[in-house]
Amino acid sequence: MGGPGGRQGRRYTFAMRIDPALVSKVAALAALELSDAERDAMAGQLTRIVEHFEALRELPESLLEGDVAAHATPLREDVARDGSPGSLIEANAPAFAHGHFVVPRVVTRD
């Protein structure tokens, strides 16, 4: 795997290959499971896409010195509001009991 090199303020090196090991690592972060064939195909496609993105590297740093966010996201008052009716939440849930979503056991004895 090639590294991205560089930190904020340095010149970046984007040229990199996204190899199957990196795809597996990222897939684990995203809670996705890929077959070996899917993983290998994805490695090739993502490498090609990321190679194309190298064009971003060619911009001089001096051009990138403005504010990143032109407008801050406006925030609303932090007050509790009535959400959707409970019956619809229950109807959409794969498993629901006693007013709660049911999931596999998380805390075990061993």
Partner 1 sequence: MALADAVGTGRITARAVAEESLVRAGKAQEAFGAFLSMSPAKTLGEAEEVDRRVNAGERLALAGVPFAVKDNINVAGRPSTAGSKILAGFVAPDHATCVARLVQAGAVVVGKTNCDEFGMGSSNENSAYGQVRNPWDPARVPGGSSGGSAASVAARAVPLAVGTDTGGSVRQPAAFCGLVGWKPTYGRVSRYGLIAFASSFDQAGALTRSVDEAARAFAVMAGADPRDSTALATPVPDVLAAPGRGARGIRIGLLAEASSAEGGLHADVKASFEEAAATLRAAGALVTTVSVPRVTLAVPVYYLTATAEASSNLARFDGVRYGARRGEASLAGLYRETRSAGFGPEVKRRILLGTFALSAGYHDAYYGRAQRVRALLSRDFAAAFRGVDAILCPTSPEPAFAFGAKTDDPLAMYLADVFTVPASLAGLPAVSVPSGFSRDGLPIGMQLIGPGDSEPLLFALARVLEDASGALARRAPGAVS
In the complex, the residues that contact partner 1 under the rule CB under 8 A are 3-8, 12, 14, 18, 22-23, 26-27, 29-34, 38, 42, 45-46, 48-50, 52-53, 55-57, 59, 63-64, 66-70, 73-76, 84-85, 88-89, 91-95, 101, 103-104, 106
Residue 102: CB atoms within 10 Å: 10
Report in angstroms how near the CB of residue 110 gets to partner 1 at its nearest.
13
Burial of 26 (0-12, 13-18, 19+ CB in 10 A): middle
- Tokens 């007050």: give the residue: 79
Residue 97: strand pairing partners: 100
Report in angstroms how near the CB of residue 44 gets to partner 1 at its nearest.
10
- Tokens 């990222």: give the residue: 26
Report in angstroms how near the CB of residue 43 gets to partner 1 at its nearest.
10
